[in-house]
Amino acid sequence: MATAETRDALIEGAIATLREKGHAHASAREIAARAGCNQALIFYHFGSVERLLLAALDRVAESRRARYQAMVDESRSLKELVRTARAVFEEDLDHGHVAVLVEMIAAAQSDDSLRPEVAERLQPWRGFAADALRGTPAARLGGPDELAHGVVALYLGLELLANLDGDRAPALALFDRAASLASLLDLFTPRRKS
C-alpha cells in the first residue's frame, strides 16, 4: 500500500472506530485492523493515536463543512436556512458524522492536551454559523459570536440526545417549529442575495 493510501486507510479506520465504538475503544489495534494495516504505521504516519484521531476529525469536518456551505449558499431566507439545518442534521444522524466530533469533545473533557486541539477545531464551525446567520432576522437577536456559539451548542446537544435515546423526533420537531417562526420573521426581511 502506498503512503497516501495507508494514511487514508488509517484515517478512515479511525473515523469508523470513533463512529461505531467511540473514543474509549479507539486503540491502535482496533484502528489498524479496520484499515488493514500494521498498527506501527499509525505511529510512523501520525506519531500517536490521538494525532490520528484529530486527523480523522479534520477529515470529517472538511467534508461536512463543504456540504453545509453548499446547502447554506442555496438558502435564500431564514426559513430555507432552518430547513437546510434540519436536512444536514438528519444526514449527520444517518451517517454518524457528528458522532466523531462528539466523541472527541467527550475525550477532551478529561485530557488537558486534547482539549485545546478540539476547541481549535470547533472555531471554524462557530465562524460558519455566524456567517450563515448574517443578513437574517436572527442576526438582530444578539452578537454573531454569541448566536453562533448557541447554534453550535444546540446542534451538538440535539445530536447527543437523539443518539442517547434513539429518538430523533423531538429534535426534528424543534427544527419544524423554528421553520414556522422563521417564516414569520422572513415576512419582515428582504430576501437574501445570491
What is the model's pTM?
A: 0.83
Residue 1 confidence (pLDDT): 67
Distance, CA of 148 to CA of 167 (rounded, Å): 25
Q: Give 138 or 145, the one with higher predicted confidence.
A: 145
The pLDDT tens digits of the residues spanning 37-74 come to 999 999 999 999 999 999 999 999 998 888 888 888 88
In degrees and rounded to multiples of 5, residue 103 shows phi and psi of -60, -40
Counting Cα atoms < 13 Å in the Cβ hemisphere of 170 gives 13
Residue 194 has pLDDT above 50, yes or no: no
- Which structural domains are found in the chain, ordered by start? 3-186 (1.10.357.10)
Confirm if 139 and 133 have CB atoms less than 8 A apart. Answer: yes
The pLDDT tens digits of the residues spanning 16-45 come to 999 999 999 999 999 999 999 999 999 999
Confirm if 4 and 43 have CB atoms less than 8 A apart. Answer: no
Q: Would you call 10 helix, strand, or coil by DSSP?
A: helix
